[in-house]
Amino acid sequence: MTEPLETPADQHARVVVIGAGQAGLSVGYHLRRLGLVPGSDMVVLDRAPSTGGAWQFRWEALRLGAAHRVHDLPGMRAMGLQFDDADRSRPARDVVSEYYRRFEQHYDLRVRRPVAVSSVSRIGDGSLCVTTRTPDGTEARIRAEVVVNASGTWGTPFMPWYPGRDVFAGRQLDTTEYRSAAEFAGQDVVVVGGGTSAIGFLLELDGVARSTRWFTRRPVLWADTTSLDLESAVAAVDEQDRAARAGEVLPSIVSGTGVPVSRRIRAGIDRGVLQDEPMFRRIDESGVITADGRHVHADAIIWATGFRADLRHLAPLHLRTAAGGVVVEDGRAADEPRLFLAGYGPQASTIGANRAGRLIARQVMDELRGA
Ligand code: FAD
């Protein structure tokens, strides 16, 4: 859909990057190296109040290395910074936010925040219009030749529907709402989901909650390694790529790799804290009814059931397929050549987001040159 530009845009930029997490910063770094001037040629926007992308919102107990490895941003080592040397006793959110802040300053990326992109639309002159909104309600429009979307998934946690979800009298929350185990002291807690977030919550709740029960749609696949196995990761990333090219909803990465069994996880399995059960049948006011018909009392249900790509602001471009995704090939939207999606599908880990930065920046420069 193409809209006329009724009122002139407030600013023109050659490239707008939406999001300053790993993916957006990586693209921004490479675009700067390729000659774009941050703040004028290239404008990076982020709706969050501080640096760190989604990491700034993660729960206090999460430490670096607890899930998978967090890869350095390109150019970070040249500054003498690397995550492998980071203090693992500090919350991951503080470390990542600090490192990203230093990175943004060092490379002078001039990220504007908090500035939320509310929509991206096509305008008559062949460019894209990025509409932004600041917390005081001020709207502005930036005309851009190319848009790089790097908005991640944290804004769109996915909660599956189960019968009775609306009658449960206790507390229900998703991964983004979890703060600390102390909030559940003395409670019976049901955790849903087979990924690293669920496992992290169960381990943290052990000894704090009165009881925990763990329900997963499929039996948890424990990988035969202590860290992510590269071969199965390659297969999982290929599967993400296939889904992105087909315009399907993206599968979860751990469904393809299995969960690596670190020493901490091994101890949790041995203590019986990490015993997954088949998904419950339904929920009632005071708990859940298990697959074999028993009632389990719950004060709280934590839905650690994954995320979807946060692409709501791209709705005016009408890129959604009937299969629920967007067709993306090598980081570029197949139906909108001026739009790139960084950190999407096969790029959705910190290492993938890094590689994507270079790949996308080169394609962006080709597009700007009219190649
Ligand atoms: P994000 O870090 O989410 O950054 C997106 C940015 O876009 C945010 O700053 C957000 O504010 C901004 N934004 C979104 N929408 C808008 C908008 N409309 N307007 C303006 N700004 C917007 N990966 C690993 O490699 N290793 C790990 O150990 C690891 N642990 C994880 C633990 C958890 C609990 C979760 C949920 C994920 C984990 N991941 C891990 C995956 C991880 O999230 C990604 O690797 C990485 O953070 C993704 O970076 P990103 O730049 O794509 O997204």
Nearest CA among 155, 201, 200 for reference residue 308: 155
Strand ranges, E, within 53-138: 116-123, 128-133
pLDDT single digits (tens) 91-133: 999 999 999 999 999 999 999 999 999 999 999 888 999 999 9
Question: Residue 114, preceding bond cis, omega within 30 degrees?
Answer: yes
CA-proximal residue: ligand 1, atom 46 (nearest): 350
Categorize the per-residue pLDDT at 351 as very low, low, confident or very high, splitting at 50, 70 and 90: low
- Laid out side by side, the sheet with 171-174 consists of 171-174, 300-303, 188-192, 211-216, 276-278
Q: Which of 16, 17, 29, 47 to mutate to test the pocket of ligand 1 (most atoms within 8 A of CB)?
A: 47
* Domain range annotation of the chain: 11-155+308-370, 165-224+261-303
Higher pLDDT: 124 or 151? It is 151
pLDDT at 68 over 90: no
Could you tell me the two tokens for 155? 């804004």
Which of 99, 29, 102 is CA-nearest to residue 64? 99
The 3-class secondary structure across 164-227, one letter per residue, is CCCCCCCEEEEHHHCCCHHHHCCCEEEEECCCHHHHHHHHHHCCCCCEEEEEECCCCCECCCCC
Phi-psi region of 342 (alpha: psi -120 to 50; beta: other; left: phi over 0): beta
Query: Mind giving me the DSSP string for 269-285?
Result: HHHTSS-EEEPPSEEET
- Give pTM, 2 decimals: 0.93
Question: What is the third-level CATH fold of 11-155+308-370?
Answer: FAD/NAD(P)-binding domain (3.50.50)
| 215: confidence class by pLDDT, cuts 50, 70, 90 | very high
Residue nearest (by alpha carbon) to ligand 1 atom 40 = 349
Q: What is the pLDDT of residue 251?
A: 80
Cβ atoms of residues 259 and 195 within 8 Å: yes
Tell me what pLDDT residue 253 has.
Answer: 67
165-224+261-303: which CATH number, 1.10.3720.10, 3.40.50.300, 2.60.40.3880, 3.50.50.60? 3.50.50.60
| CA 151 / ligand 1 centre spacing (Å) | 7
Cβ–ligand 1 distance for 132 under 6 Å, the answer: no
**Nearest CA owner, ligand 1 atom 11:** 48
For a ligand 1 pocket test, name from 350, 354, 355 the mutation site with the most ligand atoms within 8 angstroms of its C-beta: 350
Supply the pLDDT for residue 255.
64
Would you say the CB of residue 237 lies under 6 angstroms from ligand 1?
Answer: no
Closest CA to 171 of 341, 286, 24: 286
Residue 227 pLDDT class (50, 70, 90 cuts): low
pLDDT mean over 239-263: 82
- Does the Cβ of 314 fall within 6 Å of ligand 1? no
Q: What is the mean pLDDT of residues 134-142?
A: 96
Angle at 179 between CA 177 and CA 182, to 5 degrees: 130
